[in-house]
Amino acid sequence: MIEIGVVGKPSVGKSTFFSAATMIDVAIDPRPFTTIEPNTGIGFVRVEDIGFELGVVSQPRNGFILGKYRFVGVKMIDVAGLVPGAHQGRGLGNRFLNDLNQAEGLIHIIDMSGSTDEEGRFIGIGARDPEDDIKFLEYELDMWYRDILERNRDRIQREIRAGKEPWEALYNVFSSLRLNRQDAEIAMKNYDLNSEELPRFLRERSKKIVIAGNKMDVGKAMENYDRLKKNYDIIPVSAEAELALKRASKHGIIRYIYGEKDFEIIGELSDQQRIALEKIRKILPTGVQQVIEHLVFDVLNYIAVFPAGSKLVDKQGRVLPDCFLLKRGSNLEDFASAIHTDLAKHLLYGIDVRTKRRLGKEYILQHRDGIEIVAAK
């Protein structure tokens, strides 16, 4: 499963975002360093389900259907807050970032209302420029990579002396941080092992970042967003609003398709609740779904593909039970091996469930393809 880390300085709303995305209750508090041990759970990306088009009602094995969407799971990790100088041991240090080794992408939560200082203490709305949050955090991530490189430099050099290709020696250390072979090759072609730019290069390639400009419901946030969006890939978010909507939906007060621009009131509620909900309605969408999906589909380049047994059911009779996330550019053979290694070995061809056309092993998968795999017995 794809892994995504939620990072940022203390008190920006990382745990609120995590909780809104995963529907898991975790500690949320204005006091900095509320989270110490990481929280892990499953968040979701939306994919328009293909069942409707095919005239069937899908029965997902994992995830769920809401509205016209299938919600497909991705693993999310919410970690402690990072402060400037963390690599020198300030705050909780940066060792806890090792919990993010397997993360392929990061969601960087910033306080768009500019009301917290570099350590997450409240200093009044608009008192801080959120751009400063972006810069220091990326620097601390680079320092995390630099430390790892320093600890392993001797080992890498030893392997090179023993005859390993330089890229392979580098890859052996950084593959555990999700660096791929190709990027390891580019790194060793362009940088010396002692180069000061190497850690940043490795970090940028193996931990892609999307910025979530959180607390958009607070004054000054819109002003900051309009200024910063010109230079950064930022999505406006109110994690608190998303959490409130999910809770109201769980209690049967509203009907809300997560990520949509509106909701419907269906239950009894107090005047106070109504006022709070109407305030939220003005800032929809909350941005939580949008951030996760932007990272997974646009930045990490995943597409969703539905395996469809004959007549769209699996052996147990479940309708379209699965939906796989695969890298854009994957072919039919990659799809078969994602389902089962044996299936790839005996793969004959695929059938497009919409057109009934035969697809060869080299067929390049498209987003929302539904494919029946035909393999030799």
Ligand X SMILES: Nc1nc2c(ncn2[C@@H]2O[C@H](COP(=O)(O)OP(=O)(O)OP(=O)(O)O)[C@@H](O)[C@H]2O)c(=O)[nH]1
Indicate whether 214 belongs to the interface with Mg ion (CB under 5 A): no
Interface stretch with ligand X, choices 9-17, 100-108, 182-190, 261-269 (CB under 6 A): 9-17
Q: Which of residues 2, 4, 7, 28 is near ligand X by CB under 6 A?
A: 28
- The single residue among 1, 25, 29, 89 that binds ligand X, judged by CB under 6 A, is 29
Report the nearest approach of Mg ion to the CB of residue 128 (Å). 19
Pair of tokens at residue 351: 């059938």
Question: Mask 14-43, x = binds Mg ion (CB under 5 A)?
Answer: xx------------------xx--------
Count CB neighbours of 11 within 10 A: 25
- Report the residue from 14, 128, 178, 207 that binds ligand X according to the rule CB under 6 A: 14
Minimum CB distance to ligand X, residue 29 (Å): 5
Which residue, 336, 343, 338, 326, is CA-closest to 371? Answer: 336
Gyration radius (Cα) of the chain, Å: 23
Q: Give the amino acid at 33.
A: F
The whole-angstrom separation of Cα 347 and Cα 247 is 45
Q: How far is the CB of 99 from ligand X (least distance, A)?
A: 13
Strand partners, 5: 77, 106
DSSP character at residue 38: P
Binds ligand X by CB under 6 A, chosen from 5, 10, 63, 91: 10
Stretch near ligand X under the rule CB under 6 A, chosen from 185-193, 214-222, 266-274, 333-341: 214-222
8 Å CB contact between 152 and 130: no
CA dist 149 and 340 (Å) reads 35
Single out the segment in contact with ligand X by CB under 6 A; choices: 30-38, 173-181, 201-209, 258-266.
30-38
- Residue 238 touches ligand X, criterion: CB under 6 A: yes
Residues in Cβ contact with 231 at an 8 Å cutoff, skipping those fewer than 6 apart:
none
- Whether the CB-CB separation of 243 and 26 falls below 8 Å is answered with no
Residues that bind Mg ion in the complex, under the rule CB under 5 A: 14-15, 34-35
Which positions lie near ligand X, rule CB under 6 A?
8, 10-16, 28-30, 32-35, 80-81, 120, 214-215, 217-218, 238-240
